[in-house]
Structure 1
């Protein structure tokens, strides 16, 4: 600082550099305002992040549910009338279900892109285990005592699950077949439809209805294809009939 002579003869002291600082009160006020805005910004950001996390969880849950539904639908709609033997050599129906919530059946359409020496049909089963819906599959139809299934968790978070089966009289049954376990006929036909009811922790009660195929392609003893249309029996596949007004085929001369 240095003294300066003014025009009126008065001497004043001038601060070098012309710099002035903030008082302690001003700093406290600024810090308080900054803290308030920071809390408001953090609360909004935390709310956005929480909402995003919930949306991602819901999307993952919905995707898992859709995958489970598609797997179930593809399996049940591919049911084939082909009894199989269990690990003890006992013949089991093409579709067998117990009161304990276990469903086992033979399905077709097992893709074989590598042309491995195996059948195009697969024995699969579904059961509930510790709040999870499990899918089991065997590499062979007629099992041996050392045959081990491949287990896959299809859906979790299940509090309760049950199956129902629609018979020919349009009555729902809790198991299939209805006979006692020691009186089951391996040649019994599958039901008309399968219903699955799930009670989940987050989505509540869910109900799925899967129609079962009404025609089961088999191989005839002579090597030709047959179509088995329900309990009425099997017979050769009928030839397609031309529609009314359609021109005759080329190999038919009028």
Structure 2
């Protein structure tokens, strides 16, 4: 008797099953890679937004440390400190939020200019801008910020900016307890100078600034102002 050895192989059904399993594995692998790539890109975007917000706070902090006390000259206000919260929200909103004079403008190129700087913060179409120019030794009312200032875009997607100011009188009346509690800014002023102030305005003892950025939420900082 002669036995014929049958050659081993796969049936058509087995091949189709193997191909189906391979296709499922490939699809799952592609989804995993795509998800990981998208997650990495989103992480980079979030880190860029966080860095931009942190840089904005650093710039604001530097300004707040160097603010000059308001001063009235012979021809009118020479230095001022004015601030008002964003009155309404929207992509088309334009409003000056804060304006003041600061010192300590570094001059690494040793240019012939003052170390004082006129600064203005404004919202325009959801963007927070910092406008600045050298102090001109002329009344502030005669300065045309829109035409002469240099513009620095700080943040995009800004939904709201709010200020709260601590009058020096409250510190003198209540002492350190003025900063106690979660709602310690409840009695602080929402605008500066206060409406009842006349003549030369004084400086607040501190200012709380709150910024609401789309996709990042609300962040706030408290700054002590030099007197």
User: Residues 11 and 120 of structure 1: is their aligned pair in 2 closer, same or farther, counting only changes over 3 Å?
Assistant: closer
State the alpha-carbon separation in 1 of the partners of residues 214 and 61 from structure 2. Answer: 23
1:41 aligns with 2:29: yes
The residue aligned with 2:103 is 108
RMSD over equivalenced CA pairs, Å: 3.0
* Deviation of the 1:67 alpha carbon: 0.2
Match of residue 15, structure 2, among 22, 27, 50: 27
User: Residues 144 and 25 of structure 1: is their aligned pair in 2 closer, same or farther, counting only changes over 3 Å?
Assistant: same
* Deviation of the 1:205 alpha carbon: 2.2
After superposition, residues 90-239 of structure 1 pair within 5 angstroms as 90-98=76-84, 102-141=97-136, 142=138, 144-145=143-144, 148-170=148-170, 172-179=188-195, 185=199, 187-214=200-227
State the alpha-carbon separation in 2 of the partners of residues 145 and 204 from structure 1. Answer: 34
* Deviation of the 1:136 alpha carbon: 0.9
1:78 aligns with 2:66: yes
Structure (1 or 2) with the larger CA radius of gyration: 1
Q: Specify every segment of 5 or more residues in structure 2 that has no aligned partner in the other structure, as ranges.
A: 88-95, 171-186
Match of residue 58, structure 1, among 42, 46, 50: 46
SS in 2 for 1:172: coil
Whether the 8 Å CA contact 1:177–1:188 is kept in 2: the answer is yes
Q: Specify every segment of 5 or more residues in structure 1 that has no aligned partner in the other structure, as ranges.
A: 1-7, 215-254
Whether the 8 Å CA contact 1:94–1:190 is kept in 2: the answer is no
> Which structure shows the higher helix fraction?
2
* Deviation of the 1:211 alpha carbon: 0.8
Which sits farther off after the overlay, 66-75 or 92-101? 92-101
SS in 1 for 2:192: coil
TM-score, normalization by structure 1: 0.66
State the alpha-carbon separation in 2 of the partners of residues 93 and 11 from structure 1. Answer: 110
State the alpha-carbon separation in 2 of the partners of residues 62 and 145 from structure 1. Answer: 33
* Deviation of the 1:20 alpha carbon: 8.3
Whether the 8 Å CA contact 1:106–1:121 is kept in 2: the answer is yes
Higher RCO structure (Cα 8 Å, ≥6 apart): 2
Deviations 1:175-201 (CA, angstroms, capped at 9, x unpaired):
222247xx853x433211121112222
Q: How many residues align?
A: 196
